[in-house]
A and B are shown apart, each in its own frame.
Chain A
Amino acid sequence: MSRSSIAVDEPTADQAVIAGVGETRFALPDDHRSGEALTYEAVTAAAADAGIPVEEIDGIAKYSYDGTVSDTDLARQLGLRDVTFSVEIPHGGGSCASVLQAAAAAVRTGLARHVVCYRTVVAQQWFRQMATADAARPYYYDAKRYLRPVGLRTYIDMFALLFAEHAARYGTDRRHLGALAVAAREQARRHDNAVLQEQLTTDDYLAAPAVSGALSQFDHLVQVDGSVAVIVTTADRAGDLTGRAVPILAVAESGGAPSSGYWELASLRSDPFQTAAGAAARRLYERAGVQAADIDVTLLYDCTTVCELMVLEEYGLIPRGEPDAVLVDGFGQTAVPVNPHGGNLAGGYVHGFSQVAEAVRQMRGQACNQVPDAELALIAGPPSNGSSGAILGRAGR
């Protein structure tokens, strides 16, 4: 059902590609597997999928504030011999495509040959770290002094307030959020590694009691323990490997004013719905030479249904301020396919990186909930203070 009519050039020798992907089983917490063990499993699986010995990894691009395993241990316990490139990206979930950008730059400039990008989440550890991060993260200051005292405790409260403004401005209501929650669950039912497999009906959704503002338990992510890793290299190197290389056609990042500041401060911007995600989206489409209508499958950051709605608007997948667009038959499934792996809402929350793994599977034509003939996959980060997006093309062979 490819909607793209553009011709994608044959990859050049220095085209950055994803040559391997590894993903652990996602399990509801507490699965009693350590973050270290999960990370080693995902990284070694990605290397094996690419067809390189794991010790050939010579670059690491990962999210900041990772509390699961140190780079030192990663290198020591995987036997990485000589790591020539290491970066951490500070955009929280907005790092999901930024790590690919860093890895692509590194392999194309020769700073490294095989860069691993990964994210591991042990839910109980991560959400405890998020709630008690004051000492470790100076940028958390504003949250402690100006958000917590007014009752904004977590990302759920923040998105509830954003939704209240969206509703006041555009007439958005729970039917719109419900359509997204129900679609995510339908997708998850067809994906083997998604943790929420039970059907969610619109009636179930609308009957759920409010937790914060208009949001209920069905509006936010499902916590899991899991790890996802990919190996980025160049097309010419990938040609010698066994893994089916997926080209990174374009990647873009945005941060800074007016979106800067701790991400939970979003409602304090003069327009909270103009975010770094939109700036990254415009840059991404320009670099790729495509438009939203060309995208065949979208892997977007959906820590809440409200977040998903905002990303859909920012990436031009629905018209801004016209939420009825998500009520059309099959939205998120057959019409504008979104997160065939169930996303954060139903598949499991790995800080947006399971979206990258699913994009690779979709571009190889190997996903268990495959979008037929998909040629372009969009990875779209959250409306945070810094965000990023990427467009992957179909695997070459």
Chain B
Amino acid sequence: MTAATGSYFDAEREALHDGYMQALLAGGLVVQICETCSTSHFPPVVRCATCGGRSHGWIAHRLGRVVASTYAEGAAVATVLVEVDGVRLLAVADPAMSLPPGAVVERVDVRPDDRAPRVAVAVDPAGR
């Protein structure tokens, strides 16, 4: 979880990213939350545009809804756009999984080597 050799990254952004990774390991659809005004942010921000706050924590949601998903030929995972609590975040999933728009994300795994939440169970309310 350190910056790539030879690259410049702002230390504060990198610390935020480390926080995100730690929160992910605890499980769930993690988004940053402003400790002053409770606005959620993804990707993480240094400054909350709603209140100007610079103090942030993490919240791990258990339920989300699939906005859309795609699969690129040859890729190991599908890309899933998920909406939780009014914020959009990105996750991965097994390409064989059924992930129609509107499906409810019911379980999320994060394995030690993962760098993003992994959708484990999603249920299509329409039963398609």
Q: Which residues from chain A sit less than 8 Å from chain B, CB to CB?
A: 134-135, 138, 141-142, 145-147, 149-153, 157, 160-161, 164-165, 167-168, 209-214, 257, 265, 267-270
Residues of B within 8 A of A135 (CB): 6-8
Instruction: State in angstroms the CA–CA spacing of A149 and B77 once bound together.
Output: 10
Binds A, one of B54-62, B88-96, B120-128: B88-96
Mask: chain B, 3-35; 1 = CB below 8 Å from A; 0 = not: 010111110010001000000000000000000
Complex contact B72–A213 (CB within 8 A): yes
Residue of A with least CB distance to B81: A267
Instruction: Evaluate contact between B79 and A152: CB separation under 8 angstroms.
Output: yes
Chain B residues within 8 Å of A147, by CB: 90
Decide yes or no: A267 and B9 within 8 Å by CB, A210-B73, A211-B73 being known contacts.
no
Check if A268 sits within 8 Å of B70, measured CB to CB: no
Interface residues on B, range: 35 or more
User: B-side binding surface: helix, strand, loop or mixed?
Assistant: loop
The 8 Å CB contact of A141, one of B9, B81, B86, is B9
Q: Is the CB of A157 within 8 A of B70?
A: yes
Chain B, 58-87, contact with A by CB distance < 8 Å: what is the 0/1 string? 000000000111111101111111000010
Given the complex of chains A and B, what is the CA–CA distance between A230 and B102 in angstroms?
48
List the A residue with the shortest CB-CB distance to B66.
Answer: A168
B37 within 8 A of A: no
Binding site for A on B (CB under 8 A): 4, 6-10, 13, 17, 42-43, 49, 67-73, 75-81, 86, 88-92, 101-102, 115-116
In the bound complex, how far is the Cα of B108 from the Cα of A166, in angstroms? Answer: 25
Report chain A residues within 8 Å CB of B115: 149
Are B92 and A161 within 8 A (Cβ)? no
Closest chain A residue to B8, Cβ basis: A135
A154 nearest in chain B by CB position: B72
B72 touches A145 (CB 8 A): no
Q: Chain A residues near B92 (CB, 8 Å)?
A: 149-151
The CA of A99 and the CA of B23, in the complex, are separated in Å by 43
Contact A145 B70 (CB under 8 A): no
Contact yes or no, B6 A153, CB < 8 A: no
How near does chain B come to A218, taking the closest CB pair, in angstroms?
Answer: 15
Question: What is the CB-to-nearest-CB distance from B100 to chain A, in angstroms, rounded to a whole number?
Answer: 8
Q: Which residues of the partner chain A approach B71 to less than 8 Å between Cβ atoms?
A: 212-213
Are A138 and B9 closer than 8 Å at their CB atoms? yes
Check A268 against B4 for contact (C-beta < 8 Å). no
Q: How far is the CA of A257 from the CA of B48 in the complex (A)?
A: 13
Closest to A145 in B: B17
In the complex the two chains form, what is the Cα distance from A134 to B92 in whole Å? 23
